[in-house]
Amino acid sequence: MLPHFPYKRVLFVKAALEYPLGRQVWQRCKDLQLETIQLKGSRVTGIPGKTPRESYFQGKQTLVVSVRRDLEFAACKPSAHFQLPLVSGCPGMCEYCYLQTQMGKRPYTRLYVNIEEILDQAKSVIDSRQPHVTVFEAAATSDPLPVEPLTGALAQAIAFFAGQPLGRLRFVTKFPQVDSLLDLDHRGHTRIRFSVNTPSVVARFEHHTPSVKLRLKALQKAARAGYPAGVLIAPVILEPGWEESYRALLEEISRLGLQGADIRFEIISHRFTTRAKKRIAEVFPESTLPMDEGQSRQFKFGQFGYGKYVYDEGSLAAMKSFFEKEIAARFPGDVIDYII
């Protein structure tokens, strides 16, 4: 078994085995003695679970190997111009995750084996936008790192973007297994970011994810390997004592000694949709995640057309002022991409 491999079953869509990578992943799964199932078509079936909670946890332990047919890349504001769909889904079980809305009752991870076709399409998009630089986000609806030992897709994408003068790649992860990427000739065209939060938030809401210390150690490794790096603090939960908790987190990051590295910060406040709230209540009935629509919240429409509850303007202004001041004190210069 691969170390830290989070899946107990792997389902193969029939068309995936027509691709060399699909056959390679099939053999790797067999060698690892994983439960390996070939589906009759493209419909995902066979994931056990009689209740929403059981289906969720079983789905999170399921990996689907598939072919990406839709090669129209979605927009990805504010982190990039476009999504790069190498993977969808994540084995982590974070209660607040926006994939509760995006993926609903399909919480499994899906990896795509037609990587060359996806990267060829990325090249077409890059060429069409000359002379502008085009940035792609490989973790818009996923954490692509946990399946990297099976596919090598991130390594392939990093090598591809290294050869694109006008192309850049970004991805964010909660997982620390970056060693296979450290010696690649990335030419500074890929930014590796790590999603972190306070110990209290991680302990209460980020189930089946590595510790923040492991994530920060991986961040340090990536930066020392010359990668542009980044820290995503999300979601910021504005509860009593939040300033002290996030100040301590920033202090821990500052002790990594990355002040001279190419590092960026992204800060995202907690938000939720009505659909996600319902789903969270089904899967985590004892959740203490703050989701009171009337308490310091305002309703706002997002970029994909659905509404969500975000903190009110006063709370967001206080959060923005806090992070601007505290990050500037530890990382001088213009290092914040956005605070939302």
d(C-alpha 217, C-alpha 211), whole Å: 10
Domain residues for the domain of 301 are 9-339
- 244 or 305: whose pLDDT is higher? 244
Q: Which of 1-15, 41-55, 128-142 has the highest mean pLDDT?
A: 128-142
In a domain, 308, yes or no: yes
**Residue 4: per-residue pLDDT:** 63
Give the pLDDT mean for 282-310: 88
Give the pLDDT mean for 108-130: 98
Which CATH number fits the domain that encloses residue 160? 3.80.30.30
| pLDDT tens profile 248-285 | 999 999 999 998 899 999 999 999 999 999 999 999 99
In a domain, 232, yes or no: yes
In a domain, 151, yes or no: yes
**Residue 304: per-residue pLDDT:** 61
4-13, 118-127, 138-147, 189-198, range with the lowest pLDDT: 4-13
Give the pLDDT mean for 220-224: 98
The total domain count for the chain is 1
In a domain, 184, yes or no: yes
Give the pLDDT mean for 291-307: 84
In a domain, 2, yes or no: no
User: Apex CA 209: angle with CA 77 and CA 309, to 5°?
Assistant: 40
In a domain, 3, yes or no: no
**Residue 2: per-residue pLDDT:** 54
Please state, rounded to an integer, the average pLDDT across all residues of the chain: 94
Give the pLDDT mean for 143-159: 97
In a domain, 57, yes or no: yes
**Residue 98: per-residue pLDDT:** 82
Give the pLDDT mean for 193-205: 98
| pLDDT tens profile 66-102 | 999 999 999 999 999 999 999 999 999 999 998 876 7
In a domain, 214, yes or no: yes
Give the pLDDT mean for 213-239: 98
